[in-house]
Amino acid sequence: MRGPHNVWRLIRTGATLERTGAMNLALDAFDAPAPLRLVARVMAWPFKWLGHKGDPSMPPAVRALSALGPAYIKFGQVLSTRPDVVGDELALQLRVLQDKLPPFPTAYAIATVEEELGASLATIFSEFSEPVAAASIAQVHKARLKETGEEVAVKILRPGIEKAFRKDIDAFYFAASMIELLSPSSRRLHPTEVIKHFDGVVRGELDLRMEAAAAGEYAAKTAGDVGFVVPKTHFFHSAERVMTMEWAEGIAFGDVEAIDAAGHDRKLLGERVLQLFLRQALNDGYFHADMHQGNLKVSPSGDIIAYDFGIMGRIDEYTRRAYAEILIGFIRKDYRRVAEVHFEAGYVPADRDIDDFAQALRAVGEPIFGMNATQISMAHLLAYLFEVTERFGMETRTELILLQRTMVVVEGVARTMHPEINIWQVAQPVVEDYIKENVGPKALLRDLVSTVQVLGRFGPKLPKLMETALNQSHDSERAIRKDQPNGRLIGFMWGIGVAAAAWVVWLLLS
């Protein structure tokens, strides 16, 4: 599938941007240099007539991305949260992609529910509305359970969405392989691995059974988070293409005017959404990885309600500690420590100069402290960060893609609520609390206890393991004795070391 026929799809992408008038918007939003503008226009203009026409009633960017398909819509959803990158006007246009796309017929939705749940609609729901929201993957209907009378939200996948995504992902794979072939310097960014990661994420999002499970786990992990609500999942009324959840009444997070009219504190909401994300990522290692305005509401009591759990992120304990140390290093302007963590974690090749890297990080960090969002050019900051990663040969870490992407999205959401938010000041208490509990003596003690517990599971095997180790030490001793005059002493000491280690393990387990 990833053959040259994808060239046609990529040509149509550029042609669609040109035909819908979105090309200039994209180039202006990213402040593209003159040479890039010229190349883009020269390559796209001759094929303009091949582009998708889209819906002329939509703004150019929304028209283009909607016509191109669901994977492109996902990209637009991310950009919609970053007015500091693409500008206020374009960000506002793209927000339509979050939950206001054209719906598919209710008759198809009902047929899908009945097929997936194995019963007629009337036996499950006493009420079933027309679509109340429609996004790239699915649409939502408001319904009422016949058995309990509870109001619920029923999410149903779009018809043919799996095939449509496969076509887009196929073209992305092809583009990534061409980039790696034609631009050797780009290989450090692992374009194909990035697309593979995105592919895996999308596959999970297209199975609503997985989303239901994710919602259940997320609800359990965040049960103690004050001011944050995850609606209850109805597993019995969920399947591969249908998911039923508790109905959550609230104001959409992107509707700033309605939030103001309801008397909610937008500054508090902006700070809370950022801190909640950081706490969940650092403390739980499990976070909502699609946290844009279309997936958040404000309840009448002022709580933040999250939904749409198709994309969730996980990070292991070691990565969380490294990430926290990097954040706290930036907050404290300890660029040397930030550089050390990058080297310790293997994010920067060991043959690079750590002092030069620390200096480059200072050049990134210093301009943003003491400024509010209106003074920071995020586009320029991201461009400089990219230059730093290229200069020091940093490779893309696919395990961090979702974390980094979500951080960008959540920061954009927070700034929508409170444009002057200082993300470093808001993040500092959360990161410091995590550091106190997870980096230092307490963490070391917990690590030792965990290690002993793991060793405890091997308790019955320890005698055999010790015997094997001692036999290996005797074999090594004989080999060394043949080559070195003092081999007998070295072999003897090696055996003593193994025995001592085994004795320590026995003491810990006894």
Active site residues: 290
**Strands 304-306, 125-134: pairing kind:** unpaired
- Give SS3 for 23: helix
Compute CA distances 344 → 337, 348, 379, whole Å.
Answer: 10, 8, 29
Sign of the CA dihedral running 46, 52, 54, 59: negative
C-alpha dihedral over 436, 442, 446, 448, to 10 degrees? 130
Tokens of residue 351, six digits: 């043959």
| Residue-wise DSSP of 334-396 | -HHHHHHHHHHTTSS-TTS-HHHHHHHHHHHHGGGTT--GGG--HHHHHHHHHHHHHHTTPPP
Let me know: does 114 contact 287? Beta carbons within 8 Å: no
Alpha-carbon distance of 388 to 116, in angstroms, equals 50
Alpha-carbon distance of 455 to 445, in angstroms, equals 15
Compute CA distances 65 → 95, 166, 197, 413, 459, whole Å.
Answer: 12, 16, 21, 21, 59
CA proximity to 84, closest of 289, 487, 381, 402: 381
Tokens of residue 508, six digits: 């810990």
